[in-house]
């Protein structure tokens, strides 16, 4: 066993956390850029960034300073009142999403951003037009409605009955989608690239065909960019690769670079379906989280983070493909699914990576998910690739 796994010690004795995640195997105490340190001082290269959250790397000084300054100035009021950081983040998101002007509802997480999108679709659709169609193998979060939208029946089983009004169709299949539409359908909800479900990139033209179908049948196109948004795939939003204009976009994860904040953006005419009192949250977009998001978006724009992610993604993909232990690579930018040669189990490789000081994720039984901070430099990528090669060897 390496120093990295000997450092653990948090999986023994009585764990005070509910067993929803399995016993934790490491306790981190510090992060900087692409690196994390555990409590015994062991260093890890983070190729997962808190699952596509710390796109600017850990403890980014501008985000840290923004949070500290905001905490000293105004930590929280209520969504009954306006605050400057919230307004500025909403405007920035609207500009970065582009296309028709829109409005934002702030939430605290991806699931909550999707919850807002689902309620908006129901309100927009009106009585009897409430069904949301989503895709098999999709992931939209763990609240009951977001779970119902998630196209993974094994995650539903223990929690039935789930809310009604959700229907699933095979991913990347426009014919089946068309067949599933009836008079009760209000919206189609899709990830532009499926993240949790295995980093599944749809065929070229699929999203455009879905957009056309939604236009023909007067349905909302809701895109869940919680994982793919904010430069992760080499564009500000993954749907920008396809040139489609969604009606609703949800984001979270990278928006606060680690501070919890989510957002549901909708075209202004669609957002108009909501009236005061239809939806609310105490903390969504509160000043501390919004100031982190404001700083995050400012730094992302200054760095031109989408271009950095696209460039680093190309290098990372090529390097991964050159490894003997890798059977294939899919994804875009720095959201990558890596098929392991010889049907090796991803969980075993993740554990071996951890022991070697390398944080990796899974993307299905025999695939890894690689989603490093988008500021990763060439030397860090070389280090990660060499370490992975050793782990796989």
Interaction between residue 70 and ligand PLP (CB under 6 A): no
Rounded to whole angstroms, how far apart are CA atoms 72 and 129? 47
Is-contact 220 195, C-beta < 8 A? no
Strands 326-332 and 28-32, by their bridges, are unpaired
Q: How big is the site for ligand PLP, counted in residues (CB under 6 A)?
A: 15
Nearer to ligand PLP, 360 or 391 (CB): 360
Rounded to whole angstroms, how far apart are CA atoms 249 and 120? 12
Interaction between residue 111 and ligand PLP (CB under 6 A): yes
Shortest spacing between CB 375 and ligand PLP, in angstroms? 21
Nearer to ligand PLP, 362 or 385 (CB): 362
Interaction between residue 115 and ligand PLP (CB under 6 A): no
**Class of residue 151 by CB neighbours under 10 A (exposed 0-12, middle 13-18, buried 19+):** buried
Shortest spacing between CB 140 and ligand PLP, in angstroms? 5
CA distances from 196 to 52, 115, 230, 335, 382 (A): 11, 18, 17, 11, 26
> What is the 8-class DSSP label of residue 324?
T
CA distances from 245 to 111, 215, 238, 241 (A): 22, 11, 11, 11
Cβ contacts of 82 within 8 Å, gap of 6 or more: none
Nearer to ligand PLP, 251 or 308 (CB): 251
Interaction between residue 54 and ligand PLP (CB under 6 A): no
Binds ligand PLP by CB under 6 A, chosen from 226, 263, 310, 326: 226
Nearer to ligand PLP, 359 or 392 (CB): 359
Interaction between residue 233 and ligand PLP (CB under 6 A): no
| Range in contact with ligand PLP (rule: CB under 6 A) among 58-66, 189-197, 283-291, 337-345 | 189-197
Nearer to ligand PLP, 141 or 287 (CB): 141
* Residue among 30, 91, 32, 51 at smallest CA distance from 350: 51
Q: Which of residues 359-378 bind ligand PLP (CB under 6 A)?
A: none
Active site residues: 139, 224, 253
Binds ligand PLP by CB under 6 A, chosen from 35, 139, 166, 237: 139
Q: Which of residues 320-339 bind ligand PLP (CB under 6 A)?
A: none
Binds ligand PLP by CB under 6 A, chosen from 38, 115, 172, 196: 196
Shortest spacing between CB 352 and ligand PLP, in angstroms? 24
Q: Which of residues 244-273 bind ligand PLP (CB under 6 A)?
A: 252
Interaction between residue 380 and ligand PLP (CB under 6 A): no
Binds ligand PLP by CB under 6 A, chosen from 227, 286, 291, 362: 227
- 287-303 vs 61-73: helix crossing angle, rounded to 10: 150
Shortest spacing between CB 229 and ligand PLP, in angstroms? 9
Using alpha carbons only, give the angle 87, 93, 97 rounded to the nearest 5 degrees: 150
3-state SS, residue 331 = strand
One-character DSSP codes across 357-388:
TEE-EESSTTEEEE---TT--HHHHHHHHHHH
Binds ligand PLP by CB under 6 A, chosen from 33, 110, 192, 373: 110
Nearer to ligand PLP, 140 or 294 (CB): 140
Shortest spacing between CB 306 and ligand PLP, in angstroms? 18
Nearer to ligand PLP, 105 or 139 (CB): 139
* Residue among 311, 287, 299, 262 at smallest CA distance from 105: 262
Shortest spacing between CB 105 and ligand PLP, in angstroms? 15
**Class of residue 282 by CB neighbours under 10 A (exposed 0-12, middle 13-18, buried 19+):** exposed
Is-contact 74 83, C-beta < 8 A? yes
Shortest spacing between CB 81 and ligand PLP, in angstroms? 25
One-character DSSP codes across 235-297:
SSSGGGGTT---SEEEE-GGGGBTB--EEEEEEHHHHTT--TTSS--SSTT-HHHHHHHHHHH
Interface residue list for ligand PLP (CB under 6 A): 51, 109-111, 114, 139-141, 191, 195-196, 224, 226-227, 252
């Amino acid at each position: 066993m390496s120093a990295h796994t000997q450092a653990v010690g948090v999986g023994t004795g009585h764990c005070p956390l509910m067993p929803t995640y399995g016993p934790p195997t490491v306790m981190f105490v510090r992060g900087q850029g692409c690196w994390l340190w555990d409590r015994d001082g062991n260093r890890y290269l983070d190729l997962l960034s808190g699952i596509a959250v710390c796109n600017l790397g850990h403890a980014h000084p501008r985000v840290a300073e923004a949070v500290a300054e905001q905490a000293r100035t105004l930590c929280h009021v209520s969504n009954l009142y306006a605050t400057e950081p919230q307004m500025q983040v909403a405007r920035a998101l609207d500009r970065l999403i582009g296309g028709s002007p829109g409005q934002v509802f702030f939430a605290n997480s991806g699931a909550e951003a999707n919850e807002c999108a689902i309620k908006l679709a129901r309100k927009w659709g009106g009585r009897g037009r409430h069904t949301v169609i989503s895709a098999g193998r999709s992931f939209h979060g763990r609240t009951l409605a977001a779970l119902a939208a998630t196209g993974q029946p094994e995650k539903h089983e223990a929690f039935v009955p789930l809310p009604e009004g959700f229907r699933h169709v095979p991913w990347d299949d426009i014919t089946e989608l068309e067949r599933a539409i009836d008079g009760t359908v209000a919206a189609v909800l899709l990830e532009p690239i499926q993240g949790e479900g295995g980093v599944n990139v749809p065929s070229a033209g699929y999203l455009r065909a879905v957009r056309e179908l939604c236009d023909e049948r007067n349905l909302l196109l809701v895109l869940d960019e919680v994982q793919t948004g904010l430069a992760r795939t080499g564009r500000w939003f993954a749907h920008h690769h396809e040139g489609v204009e969604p009606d609703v976009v949800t984001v979270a994860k990278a928006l606060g670079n680690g501070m919890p904040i989510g957002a549901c953006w909708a075209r202004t005419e669609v957002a108009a379906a909501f009236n005061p009192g239809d939806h609310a949250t105490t903390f969504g977009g509160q000043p501390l989280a919004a100031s982190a998001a404001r700083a995050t978006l400012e730094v992302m724009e200054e760095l031109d983070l989408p271009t950095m992610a696209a460039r680093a993604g190309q290098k990372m993909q090529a390097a991964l493909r050159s490894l003997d232990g890798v059977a294939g690579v899919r994804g875009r930018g720095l959201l990558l699914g890596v098929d392991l040669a010889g049907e090796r189990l991803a969980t075993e490789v993740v554990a071996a990576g951890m022991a070697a000081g390398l944080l990796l994720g899974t993307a299905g039984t025999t695939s890894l998910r690689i989603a490093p901070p988008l500021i990763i430099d060439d030397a860090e990528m070389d280090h990660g690739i060499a370490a992975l090669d050793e782990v796989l060897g």
